[in-house]
């Protein structure tokens, strides 16, 4: 996340897996160790918790641009038409899952969303990039947009409330079709969701209805 400050500088934040934020006042400050606190003019505060694996850097605008230069386009970038989406994977020999979570290909897709996108497109996450048919790429592009749009509207899947009374954040967790559901029935075909290891990452899919590989 990138925070634009009034003095022209930027705060570049990466929460990694264990970090989270809480926004409020001193009265509802979480009973947890806080690494960084930002105080605003209106008296509200933003707490950064669990940043031991993440980071918060103060940078100039130029430095921030340089740090982000290697990131792929945002999935909601209006310039990311279907043809350009397909081009981002051109020349890659690995698996679909590995490419989807590679931030130099596309930015912002992690383990959960990669598996959910593959499921929505009926494509195996361990499918090899060169072997995917044009129709599979059409479905993957549409699935990326629809899954991420639903995730945003539902508050994402990380269940850490941003402020007191926050009932939205983490709402997508209960909507996941395959992620973190090993052994459970598939909502689409009734098959059994499996969990495997792929390039040191957990991967979840339905072998009964995710046929394309």
Do residues 182 and 193 lie in contact, with contact meaning Cβ atoms separated by under 8 Å? yes
Distance of CA 99 to the CA centre of its chain: 13
Q: What would the pLDDT profile of 90-130 be if each residue is shown by its tens digit?
A: 999 999 999 999 999 999 999 999 999 999 999 999 999 99
Domain of residue 32, residue span: 2-68
Per-residue model confidence as pLDDT tens digits over 132-153: 999 999 999 999 999 999 999 9
Instruction: Report yes or no on 62 lying in a domain.
Output: yes
* Pair 12, 45 in one domain: yes
| Structure token digits, residue 193 | 């969701």
Quick: pLDDT tens for 74-99: 999 999 999 999 999 999 999 999 99
CB 48 within 8 A of CB 33: no
What token pair was written down for 5? Answer: 């400050």
Rounded Cα distance between 125 and 212, Å, is 9
Q: What is the pTM of this model?
A: 0.91
Residue 48 host element (H or E) = strand 45-49
Is residue 55 domain-shared with residue 111, that is, in the same domain?
no
Average pLDDT along the chain: 93
Q: Which two tokens stand for residue 205?
A: 């899919």
**Residue 51: pLDDT over 80:** no
Per-residue pLDDT reduced to its tens digit, 186-209: 999 999 999 999 888 999 999 999
Q: What is the CATH number of the domain that holds 7?
A: 3.20.190.10
CA distance 128 to 212: 10
Higher pLDDT, 106 or 31: 106
| Higher-pLDDT residue of 38, 87 | 87
Split into its structural domains, the chain has a count of 2
Six-digit token pair at 98?
A: 């590995």
Distance CA 106, CA 50 (A): 26
Q: Are residues 10 and 87 in the same domain?
A: no
């Amino acid at each position: 996340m990138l925070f634009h400050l009034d003095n022209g500088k930027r705060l570049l934040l990466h929460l990694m897996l264990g970090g989270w934020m809480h926004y409020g006042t001193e009265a509802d400050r979480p009973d947890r160790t806080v690494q960084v606190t930002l105080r605003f003019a209106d008296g509200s505060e933003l707490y950064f918790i669990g940043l031991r694996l993440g980071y918060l850097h103060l940078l100039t605008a130029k430095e921030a641009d340089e740090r982000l230069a290697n990131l792929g386009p945002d999935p909601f970038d209006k310039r990311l038409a279907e043809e350009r989406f397909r081009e981002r994977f051109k020349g890659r020999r690995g698996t679909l899952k590995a490419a989807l979570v590679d931030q130099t290909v596309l930015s912002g897709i992690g383990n959960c969303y990669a598996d959910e996108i593959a499921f929505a497109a009926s494509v195996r996450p361990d499918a090899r990039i060169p072997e995917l048919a044009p129709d599979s790429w059409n479905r993957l592009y549409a699935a990326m947009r629809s899954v991420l749009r639903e995730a945003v509207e539902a508050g994402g899947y990380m269940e850490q409330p941003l402020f007191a009374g926050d009932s939205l954040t983490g709402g997508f967790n209960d909507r996941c079709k395959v992620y973190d559901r090993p052994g459970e029935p598939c909502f689409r075909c009734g098959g059994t969701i499996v969990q495997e290891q792929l390039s040191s990452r957990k991967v979840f899919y339905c072998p009964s209805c995710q046929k394309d590989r």
